[in-house]
Each structure stands twice: as C-alpha cells, then as structure tokens.
Amino acid sequence: MRDRRGGNGAVQQERSEKGLGDVYLAQRRYSEAEESYCRAQRTTARLNEDECQADAWGGLGDVYRDQGMYEKAEGSYTRAQRIYARIGHDRDQAKTLGELGDVYRHQCKYTQAERSYTKAQKIYAHIGQDEDQAEMLFNLGHVYLLLSKKNKAKQYYRKAEELYAGIGSNQNQAITLLQIAKVYCLQSDYEEAQETYMQAGEIYARIGDEKGQVDALCGRGEVYLNQCKYTEAEEYLTRAQEIYSRIGEASSQARMLLVLGYIYIFQYQDTQAEESFLKAREICTRLGSDQDQVRVLQGIADMYFLQSKWEEAQDTYMQAGEIYARIGDDKGRADVLCRRGKVYRIQRKYNEAEEHLSRAQENYSRIGVENGQAATLLELGHIYGLRSQYIRAERSFMKAQEIYARIGNDKDQVSVLENMAGVYRFQSKYKKAERVYTQLEEIYTRIGDDRGQAGAMNKLAKVYRIRSKYTEAEETCIQARNICVEIGDEGGEAKSLVGLGKVYQAQSNLKGAEKYFSQARAIYDRLDDDIGRADAVLGLSSVMFEQGRLAKARRLRSEAEELVDLSEGDDDDT
C-alpha cells in the first residue's frame, strides 16, 4: 500500500512538473521549462507511466523547437510519438508527427517532413479529425511547393481547401486559396491565379479580416509582377504596403517594400529602389527578425547585381550568408552561394564561380531542393562551356534537364535545352543538336509558347541546312514564318526569311535567296534592328559576290560593317 501511494504521489508530482513546464514555456522561460519537463520525464520513466512520459518528451520538443534547436527537438518528438504509437493514443501520435514534420521542414529535410505529415494525415483521416487532417494536407502542399513539385502541391492544397470549406473553416480555406493561387502563378497560369486570389479576398471580406484582404491584394500585384506588368504591380503593391502600415503589420509592410524595390529596379528607377530597400531594412532591424532582415539583405544584394556593382553585391551576399548560417537555414545559404557564383561567372573568375556553385549544388542535393540543384547545374554548364570543357558542360546540362523534366519545370527545362544544343553546335555534333531542337519545339508546342516554338524551329532549320537536309530546312523555316506572322512577331518572321535565304543560297538558287534576304532587310529596316539588318545585308552581299556583282557585294559588306562589328566573323545564327 505504501509503494502504491508513493507511486500516485510521484505521478501527481510529474503532472505538476509538466504543468509548470507548460507555464514556463508560455512565458518563454526556456531553461526553467526544460528543467521541469526533464524532471517530469525522469519521474515517469522510473514509474513506467507511458502517457505522462510521452507528454514530457513532447514538452521538451516544444522547448527545443521554439529556440531553433531542431536536432534536439527532433529527438524529443520522435521519442514521444513512438510511445504514443505503442499505447494507442492516435490523436497525440498524429499531433506529435505533425510537430516532427515541422521540425524536419525547418531543417530542409523535406523527404522526412513529407513522411511525417503523411502519417499524421492518415491517422487524422482514420479517427475523423477533419480540421487536423486538412492542416496536414496543407503542410504536405507546402513541402511539395518547396520541392518545386507544383502539381502535387496544388493537388494537396486543393484537398485541404475542400476539407476546410466542408467544415466551415473560412479563415483556413482562404489561407489555402492564397497558396493555390501562388502555385498557379508559378505555373504561369495567371488568369487562374488572379481568380483564386479574388476568391480568397471575398472570403476575407465576408469574415471581416482586413489583413487577409490585403494579403489577397498583394497576391494580385505579384501576379502582375510575374507578367512584367510593372505599372499594375506597383499600383497594387503600393496599396498593400500602405494598408499593412496602417494596420500595424510591420513584417508584411517590409516584404512589400522589398518587392517594390525589385519593381523599381526592373524599371531602372534605382533611387526609388534603394529607398524602398532601406525602408524595409529599417523595419526589419526594428523588429529584430533575422529571417526578415536576411531577405532584405538579399534584395539589396540583388539590386547591386542588377546594377553591375559586383563588389557591393558580393559583400552583401556574404552578410546574408552569415545570417543564414547563424539561423540554420541551409536553403538560404545555398541560394546565396549560387548568387555569388553567378557574380564570379560574370566577372570571368571561373575558378571561384565553380567552387561556389559546386557547394550550392551539393547543399541543394543534400536537402532535396531539386529546383535549386538544377539551377546550379545549369550555371556550372555555362562555366564549363566558357572554358570549352564541352563534355563537362554537356553532362551538367543533361543532369539539370533530367531534374527539370522530372519536376515538371518546362520554363527552365527549355533554357537548359537551348544551352545544350549550343554546346553540340560548338562541337559540330549537329545530329545531337537536331534532336535537342526537336525536343524544344515539342515542349514549346505543349505549353503553348508560339514565339518560343518559332525560335526553336528557326534554329532547327539551320541545323538541317548545315546537314544538307534542304527540304526539311525549307519546310521548317516556312512553318516558323507562318507562326510569326500569325502572332505578329515581325522579328521572328525576318529571322525565318533570312533562314530561307540561306537555304536557297546553299542550293545555288541565288534569285530566291536574294528575294528572301531583301524581304528580311525591309522588316529589319522597319524595326530599326541593326543586328538583324546586318545579317540580311551580309546575306545579300554573299549572293551578289556569287553572281559576280563584286562592286555591289563590297558596298553591302561595308554597310554591314557600319551596323555591327564583324571582326569576329559572322555568327550565322538564324
């Protein structure tokens, strides 16, 4: 009887310690909270009180998580969820799995985060906890978005949104709609993005959430920004910034000032850009938020980059990198390394560029950020190409292309393929270049980019011509020209005409070649495009030379030399 009474007293003591830990945690008195939870955990372990022991481990996880001590938090939450699983406490296990997923996400361990959120979501679905299930679906959407798996992100956000709508959780439904709109924007589906932001705004208006309404307004401005509609973007985001200031949302105000800074840069309004960034920095310094401050620093560094102020850009990127290191943000550190590598590449400091980009690529690979990994591989490919290390360039481009294809990033995939085709052409591997340009044309067709499709076809026609496949070259030029005429792209049409001129000239049809070069020249004259005009004039000059009209050929050659520097030879790029 004495032992049992002693045991009950010990359990009551544990519960008191646990309760005291909760109080300290709420007051952010982390040392005292940790001591209380540790005492509770030791007591319950001695008494084999599993539920209380799991609660204590969970409390310790909260303490470590709130201090950014994620590895310790991970260990504590793992112990707690294993005990809850063993004793059949489904809801507590799911809650702890969700917290464990958050810790993994903060450490950029996205695969583990995905696994934890998925387990938690399944448990909540099994026990009928719709709101908690929706939260896990939302978190999964966020993880997939961080991994650049946009279709999966949208799928899980949509599932969460439907659950929130079904249970009448308007606030969470609107938050989820904001994320869905963001995915649409990233996929360049701007009409759907605008419509979804408007739906979110309507819900926020109905429930009287002013901050939510301005969040939706801000989203609409960012859609315009992605469309390069800077006037509309500036109008929406300036309104958003003013409202954030009025309602006391300083962090959001700083973010708007940061985005406005980029808009001013894109419009070559450097003074306004600098003012906007400095205001954002003042707010973040006042708030004492490392996360906000580092974003502003990165924005200022980007401003210097776009202004070609390389030393200032490097210094500011280094400051940002130091903060990312201090707060344990591995993705942020990788982003900065990648940007610094780009600066070195532009400065032709290729060894330093390769070193920084390789480190960035390794970091992205380790934390599972495939989009970042592919972007650094693309940059490395550029460097190898500039060094004439074509095999290494080809290997980097191929790896980048495989990643972009796997995650469905068509926009960057076509950029990689363009560079890969260029590497093949430099090596006179025209059969491989032909295959890549054909692949490019198919992607542009699939995503509905007519201008890109016509450009790829013009380049494919050039490869056909070099390989003496004149019928295919002529047909491809004509198709490209028809697309350009249909969409009103006169520059693209002129390129197709130059390509046709070269195809006819290669077959000794000089009259036909002269006709097409002359038509191209007339368009370039109208567009006041010196580079294009020089290409057409050089074509005419070579035709005149073959026809024996040497005086006119020389005059045309001189005209082309006045338009562009021909000292390095003709690029001959149609």
Q: Tens digit of pLDDT for each residue in 166-206? A: 999 999 999 999 999 999 998 888 999 999 999 999 999 99
Q: Nearest to residue 466, comparing CAs of 508, 498, 425, 496?
A: 425
Confidence of residue 539 (pLDDT cuts 50, 70, 90): very high
pLDDT at 348 over 70: yes
* Max Cα-Cα span within the chain: 120
Amino acid at 264: Y
pLDDT at 2 over 60: no
Sign of the four-CA dihedral 427, 430, 436, 440 = positive
Q: Do the domain assignments include residue 394?
A: yes
Q: Do the domain assignments include residue 57?
A: yes
Domain that holds residue 63: 1-88
> How many structural domains is the chain composed of?
3
Residue 185 near residue 223 (C-beta atoms within 8 A)? yes
Q: Do the domain assignments include residue 569?
A: yes
Residue 309 corresponds to which tokens in the numbers above?
A: 């102020």
What pLDDT score was predicted for residue 4?
A: 28
Query: 420 and 456 share a domain?
Result: no
Query: 516 and 574 share a domain?
Result: yes
Query: Given 88, 113, 145, which residue is the final one in a domain?
Result: 88
CATH of residue 387's domain is 1.25.40.10
Query: 405 and 496 share a domain?
Result: no
Q: Do the domain assignments include residue 474?
A: yes
Query: Given 427, 455, 481, which residue is the final one in a domain?
Result: 427
Q: Do the domain assignments include residue 84?
A: yes
pLDDT at 566 over 60: no
Percent of the chain whose pLDDT exceeds 90:
67
Q: What is the mean pLDDT of residues 79-87?
A: 93
Confidence of residue 6 (pLDDT cuts 50, 70, 90): very low
Q: Tens digit of pLDDT for each residue in 385-395? A: 999 999 999 99
Query: 523 and 400 share a domain?
Result: no
Amino acid at 452: G
What pLDDT score was predicted for residue 113?
A: 93
Query: 416 and 512 share a domain?
Result: no
Which letter does DSSP use for residue 417 in this model?
A: H
Q: Do the domain assignments include residue 374?
A: yes
Q: What is the mean pLDDT of the chain?
A: 90
Confidence of residue 1 (pLDDT cuts 50, 70, 90): very low
Q: What is the pTM of this model?
A: 0.65
Q: Do the domain assignments include residue 124?
A: no
pLDDT at 574 over 90: no
Q: What DSSP string runs through 190-255?
A: HHHHHHHHHHHHHHHHHHT-HHHHHHHHHHHHHHHHHTT-HHHHHHHHHHHHHHHHHTT-HHHHHH
Q: Do the domain assignments include residue 49?
A: yes
Percent of the chain whose pLDDT exceeds 70:
95
Q: What is the mean pLDDT of residues 367-395?
A: 92
Residue 117 corresponds to which tokens in the numbers above?
A: 């959120």
Query: 458 and 554 share a domain?
Result: yes
What pLDDT score was predicted for residue 328?
A: 82
Residue 175 near residue 146 (C-beta atoms within 8 A)? no
d(CA 409, CA 26): 43
According to the 3-state scheme, what is the secondary structure of 449-478?
Answer: CHHHHHHHHHHHHHHHHHCCCHHHHHHHHH
Query: 75 and 4 share a domain?
Result: yes
pLDDT at 8 over 80: no
What pLDDT score was predicted for residue 356?
A: 96
Q: Nearest to residue 340, comparing CAs of 369, 322, 324, 317?
A: 317
Q: Nearest to residue 398, comparing CAs of 425, 378, 412, 382?
A: 378
CA 45 to chain centre: 47
Query: Given 88, 111, 131, which residue is the final one in a domain?
Result: 88
Query: 29 and 57 share a domain?
Result: yes
Where does residue 188 fall: left (phi above 0), alpha (psi -120 to 50 degrees), or beta otherwise? Answer: left
Q: Nearest to residue 36, comparing CAs of 15, 55, 20?
A: 20
If one compares 381 and 28, the residue with the highest pLDDT of the two is 381
What pLDDT score was predicted for residue 307?
A: 85
Sign of the four-CA dihedral 200, 203, 205, 208 = negative
What pLDDT score was predicted for residue 570?
A: 45
d(CA 88, CA 498): 74
